[in-house]
Amino acid sequence: MQKIVTIEEMIRIEKAAEAAGHSYAQMMERAGKSLADALLARISGIKDKHVLVLAGSGNNGGDGLVAARWLAEAGATLAIYLTKDRSEDDPYLAALRDLGILIAVGEQDQRSRVLKLQLGRADVVVDAVLGTGFKLPLKGIARQVLKVAKQSRTRPYVVAVDCPSGLNCDTGEIAKETLAADLTVTLAAAKPGLFLFPGAEYVGELVVGDIGLPPDQEELASIKTELVTAESARQWLPARPISAHKGTFGRALIVAGSIHYPGAAALAGRAAYLAGAGLVTLAVPATVQNMIAGGLPECTWLPLAETLDEATADILAVEWERTQALLLGPGFGLKSTTASFLRALIGAGTPLPPAVVDADGLKLMARVEGWESMLPQGSVLTPHPGEMSVLTGIPTEEIQEHRSELATEKAAEWGHIVVLKGAFTVIAHPDGRSALIPIATPALARAGTGDVLAGLLVGYRAQGLPGFEASILGCYIHARAGLLAAQAIGTAASVLAGDVAAAVPRAIAELEHSPPAN
């Protein structure tokens, strides 16, 4: 299980590893090897490539020098450009000198002539200039080296070590000189700043590199923030026994839609089936049923009055006994009568099935005093930043700056799972655990894609998954489906919510059929 750690946490983890017998030299060797391996896996014909390593004076630079040795042994042509000269007895530098590799020093390079020459030759640039111990704005030789590299007319493949130089690994703030990486090999664990803007725009593909820490190291294992991967999502796929019948996979009841938003119910219902639910019932106004029923022959229906009100809540209460999971909110609209309906529904005192609350349901629920205690414990709330602002009273901009912290804080305060949607969706559990989906795509920036996600979540809840695990699995599949839809269509700009739903089976198949990590 991969984790996300702050700079302070990473320092503690490395110190504990050293105390346990894993020296910094050993960790640096493993880090450099991981960096080289990641690059070699992505660059073909390395023997014909020129690789320029920009190395600072700290451990980050040391990682880059170790990687340079491995790349040289693989046949690449190497050049090393140090911001400052390193110690004469530096073993990493000595090994490169023994290989006859060109080594230049920025402090001795007038007008950066050598740097500009090497940038013009480079097919690959390894950014190992700065680690975590810097302050913005950048100054001195490190700033100059990065500035020249950024202004270069050539466009080599850029690999960043741990975080792109000048990117604050905690906050996502960047220097104006920061190089946009094609690949970032973050070491031991991902860092929060890699998923916060503007820094996230500079990360490129993200790989977590091994530095030799034992997987059961207490300091690392105790971190409560998980980076969701295919491997960690796969473990929550519900089993599909050959002896199953539709009841095996549960009934999802979706209360959704209105005359203005009929598609929300259709998208959610389809997605719940695609997630594997055995039976999906759509409780919608009768006019909405007439509009969408032809496209959803698999669904059963509970036609409701055009205006949802307190009487509607009584009709639905009869359904609780045979419902394994409930979705409220997609396409509700914001009428005051609908707010009264929701208040009556969750405040009746009759135990509700495991619930997912989405979209307008969240905005209406915010009007109900004490809603937190009325919902079933561990319900799943799926706000986007605007809806989170309505629920909390916190400005959207502040929410976006502190996504993980706020989701975790509110999950604990409310006693429910919070799925804070957006680029790099955050999933938070009331017990302090959280998970982050390391996928951001404009393919999902489209009306209706949230309804698809809500349908996936209620579908997995209907199959018996707890809220946190259902959210991890559903959000990962949803994000992958967005990427796959854009790939199939050829452009993210033309992806519609229905295309995302259509890609869900491929996203699930990826998890079912791809081999587990060693």
Q: 323 with 253: CB under 8 angstroms?
A: yes
Q: How far apart are CA 112 and CA 145, in angstroms?
A: 8
Q: For residue 23, which amino acid is it?
A: S
Q: How far apart are CA 368 and CA 133, in angstroms?
A: 47
Q: Cβ–Cβ contacts within 10 Å for residue 304, how many?
A: 23
Q: What is the mean pLDDT of residues 116-125?
A: 98
Q: How far apart are CA 473 and CA 235, in angstroms?
A: 9
Q: 145 with 106: CB under 8 angstroms?
A: yes
Q: What is the mean pLDDT of residues 193-213?
A: 97
**For residue 267, what pLDDT band results from cuts at 50, 70 and 90?**
very high
User: Does residue 41 carry a pLDDT above 60?
Assistant: yes
Q: How far apart are CA 175 and CA 134, in angstroms?
A: 11
Interacting residues of 86 by C-beta distance below 8 A, sequence separation 6+? 57, 61, 93
Q: What is the mean pLDDT of residues 48-63?
A: 97
Left, alpha or beta for 5 (phi > 0: left; psi -120 to 50: alpha)? beta
Q: For residue 207, which amino acid is it?
A: V
- SS3 assignment for 408-468: HHHHHHHCCEEEECCCCCEEECCCCCEEECCCCCHHHCCCCHHHHHHHHHHHHHHCCCCHH
Provide the mean pLDDT of the chain: 96
Supply the angle between the helices 336-347 and 310-317 in degrees, to the nearest 10: 40
User: Does residue 438 carry a pLDDT above 80?
Assistant: yes
Supply the angle between the helices 59-73 and 24-40 in degrees, to the nearest 10: 50
Q: Which of 40, 5, 57 is nearest to 163 (CA)?
A: 5
End-to-end CA distance of the chain: 12
Task: Indicate the length of the chain as a whole number.
Answer: 518
pLDDT for residue 516? 56
User: Does residue 343 carry a pLDDT above 80?
Assistant: yes
pLDDT tens profile 150-185: 999 999 999 999 999 999 999 999 999 999 999 999
Percentage above 90 pLDDT, the chain = 96
What are the CA-CA distances from residue 444 to residues 123, 274, 394, 430 (Å)?
A: 33, 18, 24, 27
Q: Where are the beta strands (DSSP E) in 235-374?
A: 251-255, 279-285, 300-304, 325-328, 355-358
Q: What is the mean pLDDT of residues 447-473?
A: 99
SS3 content of the chain, % helix, strand, coil (to 5): 50, 15, 35
Phi and psi torsions of 78, nearest 5°: -110, 150
Supply the angle between the helices 449-462 and 497-513 in degrees, to the nearest 10: 40
pLDDT tens profile 225-251: 999 999 999 999 999 999 999 999 999
Q: 408 with 447: CB under 8 angstroms?
A: no
Helix (H) or strand (E) holding 84: none
**For residue 515, what pLDDT band results from cuts at 50, 70 and 90?**
low
Q: What is the mean pLDDT of residues 113-129?
A: 98
Domains delineated in the chain: 2-223 (3.40.50.10260), 233-513 (3.40.1190.20)
User: Does residue 518 carry a pLDDT above 50?
Assistant: no
pLDDT tens profile 288-336: 999 999 999 999 999 999 999 899 999 999 999 999 999 999 999 999 9
